[in-house]
Amino acid sequence: MPQVQGDLISDACSKALYKDLCEKTLRADPSSSGATVDGLAKIALKAASSSAKTIQGQITTLLRTAKDKAVIAALNDCTENYDGANEQLGDSLKAMVAKHYSDVNTWVTAAMTDGDSCEDGFKSGTSPLTQANTNFGHLCSNVLAITNQLR
């Protein structure tokens, strides 16, 4: 039986741009065992949401020690970006429960844009959040890849 579930995870992630991350994310969640594609999409969405919350914590920590005005300004913008992303991912979860998949796509895409906007705020130098922002974008992309199979 677990083999079938493994196949469902592989199938669900087959259209993702970040297949390895997709499979790793889904397999790491115990509730993926026996989940439907809809359930896997929810797990992927929760992983993206968890990532956004983690990044908010990193931003708060970085703001405590930042001295450079441009970095502080960029981090403050990131705080707003990730506040928006978290709200959009919360709305996405409600939409997913209601099976309004086009709304999920709209809000997850908006959340991805917020992550990109955070990264773009560090034009003057190196972003301390590049890896986290990139990972967040990949997690959101995986949500879209799975959700698109539910339409």
CATH of the domain at 18: 1.20.140.40
Length of the chain in residues, anyone? 151
Over residues 80-122, the pLDDT tens digits come to 999 999 999 999 999 999 999 999 999 999 999 999 999 999 9
Amino acid sitting at position 47:
A
State phi, psi for 100 to the nearest 5 degrees: -95, 75
Tokens of 139: 């997690």
Q: What integer pLDDT is reported at residue 118 of this predicted model?
A: 96
- How many structural domains compose the chain? 1
Which pLDDT belongs to residue 34?
A: 87
Q: For residue 20, with 0-12 CB atoms within 10 Å meaning exposed, 13-18 middle and 19 or more buried, which class applies? A: exposed
Q: What residue numbers bound the domain in which 93 lies?
A: 2-150
> What would you report as the CA-atom Rg of the chain, rounded to the nearest whole angstrom?
16
For tokens 């991805």, the residue is 112
Instruction: Tell me the average confidence (pLDDT) per consecutive run of 10 residues in the chain, 151 residues long.
Output: 62 96 96 93 97 97 94 96 97 96 96 96 86 97 96 74
Which residues have a Cβ under 8 Å from the Cβ of 31 and sit 6 or more positions away? 39, 43
Alpha-helical (H) ranges within the chain are: 2-13, 19-28, 37-65, 69-97, 101-120, 130-147
Q: Which pTM was predicted?
A: 0.93
Confidence at residue 3, expressed as pLDDT on a 0 to 100 scale: 41
